[in-house]
Amino acid sequence: MVAVETVRGPVEVDALGTTLMHEHVFVLTPDVLNNFGDQYWDEDARVADAIEKLTTLKASGVDTIVDPTVIGLGRYIPRVARINAEVDINIIAATGLYTFDEIPHFFHYRGPGTDLGGPEPMVEMFLRDIREGIAGTDIKAAFLKCVVEERGLTADQTRVQNAICETHRQTGVPITVHTNATHQTGRLALELYAKEGVDLTKVVIGHAGDTNDLDYLKWIMDQGATIGCDRFGVDLYNPTAERVATIAALCAQGYADRIVLAHDAACYMDFFAGEEAQAMLHAVLPNWNYQHIGEHVLPALREAGVTDEQLTTMLTDNPRRYFTPSGS
């Protein structure tokens, strides 16, 4: 039996079913909420709302979400576990560090090349999340999440990437890297990972679907990596119709086995805290929610010539392969 760790414990990879490969439950800023939570956070209301949204998602046929919420995005696993106890859906947790450039001061003075030196605390933390459990729970992380953004591989970002690569080499767990498709930073990530001995078939280049540059997308997949067409509903970055046309073109050229789908949505994201911001968000991006793929994108992909077999490949087979350790 090959199993993957989830918030509710190990699940056989064959049982993951229809999987959205990049969805958050919450994206939060704990430092702000600790001080302004009376204004911006209602724990019970948010938990109830999340249970409702995830229950609806499951009822629409999605069995698993892969949640790349890590340090820098407000990961708090006990809350996710409380929600998951009320919803029959698999949630796969991540470890890693989300920063576009600088690392938090927590890490600044310790680790290789710093004033105090010593071992890399990030590696120790990532390994603990994967091997022992997150924050004293027995919930384990099953993949690594990091960022290579427009600012590229700054000194701090390189330190994060080295910690990600080291953890991958020790554990084999797969990597999802947030990239900037306009600036093609997936190239920077993959060139570094190749040099660092990462198994590129275990890498998702997140947000690659924000571009329709087929040469760039095919270059990523020709390295063995998978493209995340994972921001369906964020039409400001790339309209749904164009995202669909790009995927259809790639499927027609035989690339369905290296494409995964998602929205990069959340039950709640405090980047848009407050009623006014929430209202504006829903007005500007009305389809940025968990239901968009099922309701609009899959019918549009079929209409564009993508077969049901190719949809199953993208939604079920590719996630299963990603979470199946190499050699098993």
Instruction: List contacts with Zn ion (CB under 5 A).
Output: 264
- DSSP label of 166: H
Crossing angle (nearest 10°) for helices 186-195 and 155-171: 50
| 18, 61 contact by CB (below 8 A) | yes
Q: How many CB atoms lie within 10 A of CB 105?
A: 7
Size of the chain in residues: 328
- Please identify, using beta-carbon distances, which residue of 68 and 111 lies nearer to Zn ion: 68
For residue 81, the minimal CB distance to Zn ion (Å) is 20
Distance, in Å, from the CA atom of 290 to the CA atom of 23, rounded to the nearest integer, reads 8
For residue 130, the minimal CB distance to Zn ion (Å) is 20
For residue 147, the minimal CB distance to Zn ion (Å) is 10
Distance, in Å, from the CA atom of 263 to the CA atom of 232, rounded to the nearest integer, reads 4
Of 221, 83, 107, the closest CA to residue 156 belongs to 107
For residue 69, the minimal CB distance to Zn ion (Å) is 8
For residue 92, the minimal CB distance to Zn ion (Å) is 13
- Please identify, using beta-carbon distances, which residue of 156 and 264 lies nearer to Zn ion: 264
- Please identify, using beta-carbon distances, which residue of 180 and 310 lies nearer to Zn ion: 180
- Please identify, using beta-carbon distances, which residue of 264 and 270 lies nearer to Zn ion: 264
Q: Residue of minimal CB distance from Zn ion?
A: 264
| 22, 262 contact by CB (below 8 A) | yes
**CA-based Rg of the chain, rounded to a whole angstrom?**
19
| 171, 204 contact by CB (below 8 A) | no
Sign of the C-alpha dihedral, residues 12, 14, 15, 19? Answer: positive
For residue 67, the minimal CB distance to Zn ion (Å) is 9
For residue 194, the minimal CB distance to Zn ion (Å) is 24
- Please identify, using beta-carbon distances, which residue of 129 and 264 lies nearer to Zn ion: 264
- Please identify, using beta-carbon distances, which residue of 251 and 273 lies nearer to Zn ion: 273
For residue 75, the minimal CB distance to Zn ion (Å) is 12
- Please identify, using beta-carbon distances, which residue of 5 and 264 lies nearer to Zn ion: 264
- Please identify, using beta-carbon distances, which residue of 120 and 129 lies nearer to Zn ion: 129
For residue 319, the minimal CB distance to Zn ion (Å) is 16
Distance, in Å, from the CA atom of 72 to the CA atom of 125, rounded to the nearest integer, reads 14
Crossing angle (nearest 10°) for helices 214-222 and 186-195: 20
- DSSP label of 102: P
| 120, 162 contact by CB (below 8 A) | yes
Q: CB-hemisphere CA count at 13 Å for 32?
A: 15
Output phi, psi for 260, to 5 deg: -125, 155
- Please identify, using beta-carbon distances, which residue of 15 and 284 lies nearer to Zn ion: 284
